[in-house]
Structure 1
Amino acid sequence: MSAFDTGLFGQKGGYAVRILDLSGGNGADPVETIRGFQTLEHANAFARRYVRDSLERCRSRGMAPADVVAAWFAFGEDAEVMGGAEQAWRSAAELNDFAARPPGDAEERNWRALDPRRDADDADEEEE
């Protein structure tokens, strides 16, 4: 099976990422669903950075990795890639590594640079 068969390089309608409030403040419903990811790679990278940033916002100086994970589950936000099936990134795959290893640079947390809504905002500004 090639990358083209799995949808890594796009599918009709694109991919979406659901943001989930782990504190339960929004119940089981997502806080928001972000649409407009044209490739699974784009959606996966956004979700990964979003979760990384959320976990880092839960980290305090000197916390043990297990405490960082516990704080994230109590106060953080998760991101689910919709439409990627088995190739979709999942936070469970990297959560413990994130907690054990603070990010090396700000790029690992910069989900805003990958946000497809930003592209729409940029296009609106160009039209004005």
Structure 2
Amino acid sequence: MPALQKLQNLCVLKLGFGSMIWEDDGSLDFESDVNGGFRQLKFLELKDLFMLKKWKLSKGVIPSLQKLAVLNCSKLEGLPIEALEAISTLQELVIDEQPTDGVSADAKLIQEHIGKDRLNFDNSIVTEKWLVRL
């Protein structure tokens, strides 16, 4: 991620099958560094990342994120709850219809933290994804 984080004006980032070289622990790191992360990133998609087990995200790395899609990441153990709850611009969260137990539980915790009046789950969407609007 360090090379991508140097792209200060990056607004859309889609990571899919074959786009990553994984660490031994299957982690994806969005950690804070001197460059300050993805300051302008509005949309992040993690799709078909079959080897992804852990997603590490520091608070403040993606402060402008509006939409997050986590699709078909069958080994992902959970979402970075604290960092996602701290993003005041987050409006939409899309996850698989049948996410892992960890991802599902974390999405519910985010809903509870933000408030059910701002966060609606709808798992009956025709596209067979859960849509969570903040």
TM-score bracket, shorter-length normalisation: under 0.3
Please identify which structure carries the higher strand content.
2
Q: Which has the higher contact order (CA 8 A, sep 6+)?
A: 1
TM-score, normalised by the number of residues in structure 1: 0.26
Please identify which structure carries the higher helix content.
1
Larger radius of gyration: 1
TM-score, normalised by the number of residues in structure 2: 0.25
